[in-house]
């Protein structure tokens, strides 16, 4: 294959991704592309996200048509130099297609990536990617989420960290029957998980509810935690979108749930039908609604947040990065700029789910010391 022609292939976002669909091309044939430019929007079973060009060059040809589902590794476009003629491009495509092997078929796909561990008589579902590294990182999702929320972060950082993500009690595939929903209770689960796996040199990444848990966990496993990454954290102000929490709990149809989930994002088009179906499937497991209600009641009092973690953050003796979205509709008016000894990042055109909507920026911040 000519070194003047570079293939653009369907990416693999997370170990469970097998295929994707081109939603729209963001560049036209003949456009000059720089490495890192947003090239296409791709829909997976979990979310719609923008795919960045892996290299610089001229977009010579679009191979993948919009709304056609393709396997991971399939050729979707071609980059190269302007001087490349049509015959060379066509020959390149023919050679690529004849040599193409479906990257989504691998030993990894025959393995159930979800693992279980018993903590405090609860079965906790988790996923580990990467091993043998000196540093560990644990991702803690927010209210109503699960470990799949970290699909654009966990694998991307597994070349630097041993990465772990889990489903909190009452969420995902973890046990739904819980005795209480307090931050203290949830923090105790996280602390025991970290001790069980001896997660020293630990970066703890928490989103929303998970950020509050991460802050509190420092009191119990201070010897393990190296730094905190707090994304759209609870506990920095009183305001919270209580109607979102109520509606998330009660939504029992695709139509109702879609309206609720749209509040999470600056761009609601990232929400896919498969995402909605997956959330509904989890919510319909016996005990799920009760568990979510217990947790909601533990963090909200008369429409406001119960807990304030500003003092706890200021007393921390480890680095803290706080990330918020400029258009967060769930916890509006978060302002951590007044806090001392923390790094504060505001993501423009971003809602409550910064780690999904702005995954590249969030991953870079996670690596910022």
pLDDT of residue 32 exceeding 60: yes
Q: Calculate mean pLDDT across residues 291-317.
A: 93
What Rg do the C-alpha atoms of the chain give, in angstroms?
A: 22
CA geometry: angle 135, 138, 144, nearest 5 deg:
170
Domain range summary for the chain, segments of one domain joined by +: 5-107, 112-366
Using CA atoms, how far apart are residues 49 and 60, in angstroms rounded to an integer?
A: 23
**What does the pLDDT read at residue 109?**
46
User: CB count, 10 Å around CB of 135?
Assistant: 15
Q: Nearest to residue 334, comparing CAs of 320, 342, 349, 344?
A: 344
Beta strands in 174-214 (DSSP E): 202-207
**What does the pLDDT read at residue 101?**
61
**What does the pLDDT read at residue 14?**
65
Using CA atoms, how far apart are residues 100 and 111, in angstroms rounded to an integer?
A: 23
**Phi, psi of 338, deg, nearest 5:** -80, -10
| pLDDT more than 90, % of the chain | 60
Q: Kindly write down the DSSP assignment for every residue of 74-101, as one continuous string.
A: -EEEEEE-TT--HHHHHHHHHHHHHH--
Q: What is the pLDDT of residues 316-367, one digit of tens each?
A: 999 999 999 999 999 998 877 778 789 999 999 999 999 999 999 999 999 9
**What does the pLDDT read at residue 104?**
45
**What does the pLDDT read at residue 191?**
97
Q: Calculate mean pLDDT across residues 282-304.
A: 92
| 5-107: CATH architecture | Beta Barrel (2.40)
pTM of the model: 0.79
**What does the pLDDT read at residue 200?**
95
Q: Which residue has the tokens 């070349």?
A: 159
Q: Calculate mean pLDDT across residues 261-283.
A: 90
Q: Kindly write down the DSSP assignment for every residue of 120-155, as one continuous string.
A: TTEEEEEEEE--S-SEEEEEE--TT--GGGGTTTTT
Q: What is the pLDDT of residues 143-194, one digit of tens each?
A: 999 999 998 899 889 989 999 999 999 999 999 989 899 999 999 999 999 9
Using CA atoms, how far apart are residues 257 and 248, in angstroms rounded to an integer?
A: 7
112-366: CATH topology is: Rossmann fold (3.40.50)
Q: Are 62 and 77 within 8 A, CB to CB?
A: yes
Using CA atoms, how far apart are residues 81 and 116, in angstroms rounded to an integer?
A: 50
Using CA atoms, how far apart are residues 354 and 363, in angstroms rounded to an integer?
A: 10
**What does the pLDDT read at residue 3?**
56
Q: Nearest to residue 279, comparing CAs of 175, 148, 150?
A: 148
């Amino acid at each position: 294959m000519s070194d003047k022609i570079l293939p653009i292939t369907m990416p693999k976002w997370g170990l469970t991704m097998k295929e994707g669909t081109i939603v729209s091309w963001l560049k036209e044939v003949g456009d000059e592309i720089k490495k890192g430019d947003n090239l296409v929007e791709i829909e997976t079973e979990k979310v719609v996200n923008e795919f960045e060009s892996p290299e610089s060059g001229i977009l010579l040809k679009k191979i993948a048509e919009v709304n056609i589902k393709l396997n991971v590794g399939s050729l979707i476009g071609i980059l190269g130099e302007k001087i490349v003629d049509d015959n060379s491009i066509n020959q390149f495509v023919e050679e690529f297609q004849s040599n193409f092997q479906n990257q989504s078929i691998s030993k990894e796909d025959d393995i159930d990536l979800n693992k279980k561990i018993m903590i405090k008589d609860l079965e906790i579902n988790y996923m580990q990617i990467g091993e043998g590294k000196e540093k560990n990182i644990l991702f803690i999702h927010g209210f109503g989420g699960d470990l799949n929320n970290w699909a654009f972060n966990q694998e991307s950082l597994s070349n630097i960290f041993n990465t772990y993500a889990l489903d909190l009690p009452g969420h995902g595939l973890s046990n739904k029957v819980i005795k209480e929903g307090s931050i203290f209770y949830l923090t105790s689960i996280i602390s025991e998980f970290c001790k069980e796996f001896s997660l020293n040199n630990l970066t703890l990444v928490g989103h929303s509810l998970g950020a509050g848990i991460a802050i509190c966990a420092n009191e119990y496993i201070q010897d393990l935690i190296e730094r905190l990454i707090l994304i759209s954290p609870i506990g920095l102000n009183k305001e919270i979108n209580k109607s979102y929490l109520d509606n998330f709990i009660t939504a029992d149809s695709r139509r109702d749930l879609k309206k609720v989930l749209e509040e999470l994002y600056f761009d609601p088009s990232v929400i896919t039908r498969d995402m909605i179906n997956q959330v509904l499937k989890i919510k319909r497991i016996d005990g799920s609604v009760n568990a979510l209600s217990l947790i909601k009641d533990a963090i909200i009092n008369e429409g406001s947040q119960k807990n304030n973690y500003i003092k706890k953050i200021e007393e921390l003796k480890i680095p803290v990065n706080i990330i918020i979205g400029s258009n967060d509709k769930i916890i509006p008016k978060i302002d951590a700029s007044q806090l001392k000894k923390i790094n504060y990042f505001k993501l423009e055109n971003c809602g409550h789910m910064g780690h999904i909507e702005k995954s590249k920026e969030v991953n870079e911040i996670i690596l910022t010391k």
